[in-house]
C-alpha cells in the first residue's frame, strides 16, 4: 500500500499535453472524444422497441422452460467459498 501511494500519489499525476501526436488541451480533448464517442449511444424510439421485443422474447422463452433452477441459499454459498483455495503468489 505504501509503495502504491508513493508511486501513484496525486501530486505525481499531471495532465497530458500530447495524445496520439495531437498537442494542446483542445486537440487532446477532441482526440479523446473521437476515440470514446461510440461507447455510449442513447436509444431512439425505434431502437427502444427493438430491444424491448428482444428482451420479451428471451423472458418468454425462459419462463416456458421446463428446466428447474436449483436453489442456492446463503449457507450453501458461504460453504462453497470457504472451500476455495487461496492463490499464494
Cell, residue 39:
461507447
CB 18, CB 28: distance < 8 Å: yes
The pLDDT of 59-77, averaged and rounded, is: 75
Query: How would you class 27 by CB atoms within 10 Å of its CB: exposed for 0-12, middle for 13-18, buried for 19 or more?
Result: middle
Q: Which residues of 29-62 are buried (b: 16+ CB within 10 A; e: fewer)?
A: eeeeeeeeeeeeeeeeeeeeeeeeeeeeeeeeee
The pLDDT of 67-80, averaged and rounded, is: 81
What global pTM score does this model have?
Answer: 0.33
Q: pLDDT for 42-67, tens place per residue?
A: 778 788 888 899 999 888 876 665 56
Amino acid at each position: 500500500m505504501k509503495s502504491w501511494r508513493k508511486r501513484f500519489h496525486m501530486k505525481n499525476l499531471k495532465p497530458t499535453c500530447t495524445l496520439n501526436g495531437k498537442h494542446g488541451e483542445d486537440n487532446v480533448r477532441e482526440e479523446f472524444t473521437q476515440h470514446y464517442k461510440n461507447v455510449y449511444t442513447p436509444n431512439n424510439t425505434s431502437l427502444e422497441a427493438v430491444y424491448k421485443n428482444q428482451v420479451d422474447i428471451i423472458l418468454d422463452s425462459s419462463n416456458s422452460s421446463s428446466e428447474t433452477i436449483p436453489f442456492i441459499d446463503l449457507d450453501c454459498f458461504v460453504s462453497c467459498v470457504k472451500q476455495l483455495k487461496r492463490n499464494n503468489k
